[in-house]
């Protein structure tokens, strides 16, 4: 359905045309002087030059034509040539009612594109830490937003499972347990099913190996060789690789589950391995790739480049494939499996150069044609209060599990501050509210910007926070419950036709829902949803304070309030569902 601004613009456009001017001048916007009017049209100002007359003359002619229109309660030409607009209560309330009758509150479907979203990006063998938090949170929201608009979306976690960290673990394991059968070159039998390490052992192996490789060149070289041999298919190493995945993946799943982040595909860098050899051969045979200092590279710089874009390295001189190689092979695989219209990557913005190289290489080497869109949604760093990347108190990398339990604890303490609640229920609710604090705290910032993780602020029940949004929904739910307890039904109610000021304000805010969703969708910008629901919650809360809903004596008027509450609740609930968290029934 059409959004309110488009409906108003059309009316104004018609009037401009009738008065003898270009109808495109009729564009209506939300007023930047809410003290004077609700909407405005500045078309007469723009048209003055073109028609060589004073803007006020045009504005007056247009306003005169619309004086009797049932849409406007006020339409006035004011000097030097603005048109100030207020709309009639009845017109607005009918519009909001139509919106409420639509399952998606008036949001139109996109036309059904197919997209693959590559997000999460955890590396196996390392515990999920805060560095991967943003990719999971933002990617999940983009996926839900696109689905809401009617796209088919496949989310792929794209695990880091093919790089040097694998060789490091193999070498470290060899030092610690040299007698393991995986290192016996003459062994020809079946390898054991049980892994030679537990999850917590594995989580210790990697940091040890990584620290060592920074000091011990010989060790690092061995790890590189082991990585290459694993990639080439050495049996014992592939068996260790498989154990690493088997031990890591269930734990990653559990962690993502706790954050309501769900992937359709659990593929990794390794999954497209079979496509690498033919891809490289093709690139060489078609003259796209060439040798440079022993490595195989594709030149991707373009004349219009403002900065140096180095060639994309496809194979190192020792024959090992790189991060870009597996990303390119994965594009081949995704095209084959899903033939998507677009692929969206959600990763740290410091990987921008990598993705520029990969996207250009994919197009230049004709892995894909121009019909496929690549987007890179690069996000900034989550910093601590000191402005440096977030760390534990002793300076280590913080596990996601720890961060989440800290947040839940803070929420729990706040909830229990001045009231009593059943312990088990409070713990359950604090998880739901905690997740909103974490996700909203992240998503309310423009993705590309760094932000400061501030536990106190994020978990506050007031201000621009997830808990405040949930608190507002809980308040609405409580009123609805009370209303039903008086024996009245919340079904089939009509909105009021004569509105109190705060009631009208709430409807005006609700009318922005579909254009807000469209903007967030087109720009891949979840922060627009957060900004909107924060405004909506504020407007709702003023409405709540200015109108005594439960004590309203006029039953029809009260029913109208309740009808409006239901729509506000729906707009908030759809929004938080897209943002990836839920509201409890009480908190």
Binding interface with ligand ARG (CB under 6 A): 118, 121, 123, 158, 160, 327, 345, 347
Instruction: Collapse the DSSP code of 480 into the 3-class scheme (helix H, G, I; strand E, B; otherwise coil) and give the result.
Output: helix
φ and ψ of 146, to 5 deg:
-65, -35
Token output for 127: 């515990």
330 Cβ neighbours under 8 A, 6+ residues apart:
118, 158, 267, 269, 271, 272
Environment class of 276 (CB within 10 Å of its CB; exposed 0-12, middle 13-18, buried 19+)? buried
Over the range 483-507, which residues count as b (16 or more CB within 10 Å of their CB) and which as e? beeeeeeeeebebbeebbebbbbbb
CB 132 to ligand ARG: min, Å: 7
Distance CA 540, CA 521 (A): 24
Give the residue nearest to ligand ARG (CB): 121
**Spatial separation of the C-alpha atoms in residues 111 and 102, rounded to whole Å:** 17
Whole-number minimum distance, CB 308 to ligand ARG, in Å?
21
Q: Toward ligand ARG, which CB reaches closer, 149 or 158? A: 158
Question: Rounded to whole angstroms, how far apart are CA atoms 159 and 135?
Answer: 12
Closer of 382 and 562 to ligand ARG (Cβ): 382
Instruction: Provide CB contacts within 8 A for 105, sequence distance 6+.
Output: 99, 513, 514, 567, 570, 571, 574
- CA separation for the pair 469, 412 (Å, rounded): 17
What span, in angstroms and rounded, lies between the C-alpha atoms of 467 and 572? 13
* Minimum distance of ligand ARG from residue 216's CB (angstroms): 24
H helices present in 216-351, as ranges: 217-232, 235-258, 273-285, 323-338
Instruction: Name the pairing type of β-strands 342-348 and 373-379.
Output: parallel
Tell me how far, at minimum, the Cβ of 327 lies from ligand ARG, in Å.
5
Considering only CA atoms, which of 439, 380, 404, 463 is closest in space to residue 575? Answer: 439
For the bound state, the minimum distance from the C-beta of residue 452 to ligand ARG, rounded and expressed in Å, comes to 22
Distances in whole angstroms, Cα of residue 80 to Cα of each of 17, 28, 52, 58:
21, 17, 14, 11
How many residues in total does the chain contain? 587
Tell me whether residue 170 or residue 362 sits nearer to ligand ARG (CB atom): 362
Nearer residue to ligand ARG within complex by CB, 133 or 347: 347
């Amino acid at each position: 359905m059409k959004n309110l601004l488009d409906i108003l613009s059309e009316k104004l456009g018609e009037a401009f045309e009738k008065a003898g001017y270009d109808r495109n001048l009729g564009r209506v916007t939300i007023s930047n002087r809410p003290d004077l009017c609700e909407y405005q049209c500045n078309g007469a100002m723009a048209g003055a030059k073109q028609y060589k007359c004073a803007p006020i003359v045009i504005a007056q002619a247009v306003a005169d034509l619309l004086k009797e229109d049932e849409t406007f309660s006020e339409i006035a030409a004011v000097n030097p040539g603005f048109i100030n607009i207020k709309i009639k209560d009845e017109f607005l309330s009918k519009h909001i009612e139509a919106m409420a009758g639509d399952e998606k509150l008036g949001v139109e479907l996109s036309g059904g594109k197919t997209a693959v979203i590559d997000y999460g990006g955890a590396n196996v063998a390392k515990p999920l830490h805060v560095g991967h938090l943003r990719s999971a949170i933002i990617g999940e929201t983009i996926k839900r937003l696109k689905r809401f608009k009617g796209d088919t979306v496949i989310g792929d976690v794209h695990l880091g499972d093919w790089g040097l960290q694998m060789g490091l673990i193999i070498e470290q394991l060899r030092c610690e347990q040299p007698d393991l059968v995986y290192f016996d070159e003459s062994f020809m039998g079946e390898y054991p099913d049980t892994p030679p390490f537990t999850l917590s052992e594995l989580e210790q192996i990697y940091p040890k190996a990584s620290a060592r490789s920074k000091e011990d060149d010989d060790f690092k070289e061995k790890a590189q060789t082991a990585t290459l041999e694993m990639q080439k298919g050495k049996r014992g190493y592939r068996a260790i690789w498989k154990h690493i995945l088997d031990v890591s993946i269930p734990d990653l799943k559990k962690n993502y589950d706790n954050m309501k982040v769900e992937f359709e595909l659990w593929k990794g860098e390794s999954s497209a391995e079979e496509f690498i050899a033919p891809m490289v051969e093709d690139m060489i045979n078609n003259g796209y790739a060439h040798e440079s200092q022993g490595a195989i590279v594709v030149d991707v710089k373009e004349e219009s480049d403002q900065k140096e874009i180095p060639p994309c390295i496809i194979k190192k001189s020792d024959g090992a494939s790189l991060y870009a190689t597996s990303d390119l092979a994965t594009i081949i695989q995704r095209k084959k499996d899903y033939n998507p219209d677009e692929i969206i990557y959600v990763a740290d913005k410091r990987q921008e150069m990598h993705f520029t190289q990969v996207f250009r290489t994919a197009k230049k080497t004709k892995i894909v044609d121009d019909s496929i869109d690549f987007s890179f949604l690069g996000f900034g760093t989550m910093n601590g209060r000191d402005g440096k990347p977030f760390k534990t108190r002793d300076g280590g990398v913080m596990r996601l599990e720890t961060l989440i339990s800290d947040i839940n604890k803070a929420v729990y303490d706040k909830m229990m501050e001045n009231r009593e609640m059943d312990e088990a229920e409070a713990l359950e609710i604090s998880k739901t509210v905690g997740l909103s604090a974490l996700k909203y705290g992240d998503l309310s910032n423009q993705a590309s910007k760094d932000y400061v993780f501030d536990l106190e602020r994020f978990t506050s029940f007031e201000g621009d926070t997830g808990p405040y949004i949930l608190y507002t929904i809980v308040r609405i739910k409580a009123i609805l419950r009370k209303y039903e307890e008086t024996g009245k039904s919340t079904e089939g109610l009509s909105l009021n036709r004569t509105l109190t000021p705060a009631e009208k304000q709430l409807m005006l805010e609700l009318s922005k829902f579909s254009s807000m969703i469209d903007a967030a969708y087109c720009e891949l910008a979840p922060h627009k949803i957060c900004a909107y629901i924060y405004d909506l919650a504020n407007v709702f809360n003023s409405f709540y304070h200015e109108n005594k809903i439960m004590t309203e004596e006029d039953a029809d008027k009260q029913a109208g309030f309740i009808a409006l509450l239901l729509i506000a609740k729906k707009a908030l609930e759809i929004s938080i569902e897209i943002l990836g968290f839920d509201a409890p029934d009480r908190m």
